[in-house]
Amino acid sequence: MQDENEVRDRVIRYILESSDEEVRAEDVRPETLLRDELDLSSMQAITMVMDLESEFDITVEDEEIEGLRTVGDVLALIDSKR
């Protein structure tokens, strides 16, 4: 099983790949806002979640996607599904 740091790094990589902003991974914190700071659109967030579902072999419900506001929310969701 992957350790917490490895999972965090992989999730942040997916988030940054989905974002249009030029942000370094080391600048992303759990409280970083997906929409306001990383400029993720709703469609980009959905695509990111689909990629994360494949990556971690999990299923995320539509209602859960709507609740994702921060990087920490995404990390907590992935953790709860693993």
What number is the average pLDDT over the span 41-55?
A: 91
Q: What is the mean pLDDT of the chain?
A: 90
pLDDT value of position 21: 84
Q: Where do the domains of the chain lie, and which CATH numbers do they carry?
A: 4-81 (1.10.1200.10)
Using the predicted structure, report yes or no on whether residue 1 has a pLDDT greater than 80.
Answer: no
Q: Could you tell me where the DSSP H helices lie in the chain?
A: 4-18, 42-56, 62-66, 71-81
Dist. CA 64–CA 21, nearest whole Å: 24
